[in-house]
């Protein structure tokens, strides 16, 4: 079980490194069906400091997001380093009034 957690953590760190490289090159990225711009639109609503209500563009982006993929990040220790509160992120679908949104 511990080796599985280490493997997942290594994979997550690799994803972050790739994201940093792509961001540096100004290449568009797509994570869990959401573009960088859509992810950025949702960030104020999941920020640990002074979270806001999700914007309409954030809620629109969530409509086509891959929830299974997003839920894979729920317990990632990397979220905190980006200032993201996992509990706030998990609550976005209900704040966006999305019916039948899966829960993590």
Condensed to tens digits (0 to 9), the pLDDT of residues 25-55 reads 555 668 888 998 998 999 999 998 889 999 9
Q: Is residue 69 part of a domain?
A: yes
Q: Is residue 33 part of a domain?
A: yes
What CATH number does the domain containing 74 carry?
A: 1.10.110.10
Interval 69-90: pLDDT, tens: 888 888 888 777 778 888 898 8
The number of domains in the chain is: 1
Q: Is residue 12 part of a domain?
A: no
| Selection from 77, 80, 66, 78 nearest residue 93 by Cα | 66
**Which 8-state DSSP code applies to residue 81?**
H
17 pLDDT exceeds 50? no
Which pLDDT score, from 0 to 100, does residue 13 have? 46
Q: What is the domain range of residue 54?
A: 29-95
Distance separating alpha carbons of residues 77 and 80, to the nearest angstrom: 6
Angstrom CA distances, 94 to 6, 29, 87, 91, stand at 32, 26, 12, 6
Interval 57-72: pLDDT, tens: 999 999 989 888 888 8
Q: Is residue 6 part of a domain?
A: no
């Amino acid at each position: 079980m511990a080796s599985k957690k280490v493997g997942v953590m290594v994979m997550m760190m690799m994803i972050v490194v790739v994201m940093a490289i792509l961001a540096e090159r100004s290449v568009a990225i797509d994570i869990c069906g959401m573009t960088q711009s859509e992810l950025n639109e949702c960030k104020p609503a999941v920020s640990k400091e002074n979270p806001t209500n999700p914007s309409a563009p954030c809620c629109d982006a969530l409509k086509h997001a891959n929830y299974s993929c997003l839920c894979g990040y729920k317990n990632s220790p990397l979220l905190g380093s980006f200032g993201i509160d996992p509990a706030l992120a998990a609550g976005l679908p209900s704040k966006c009034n999305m019916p039948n949104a899966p829960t993590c």
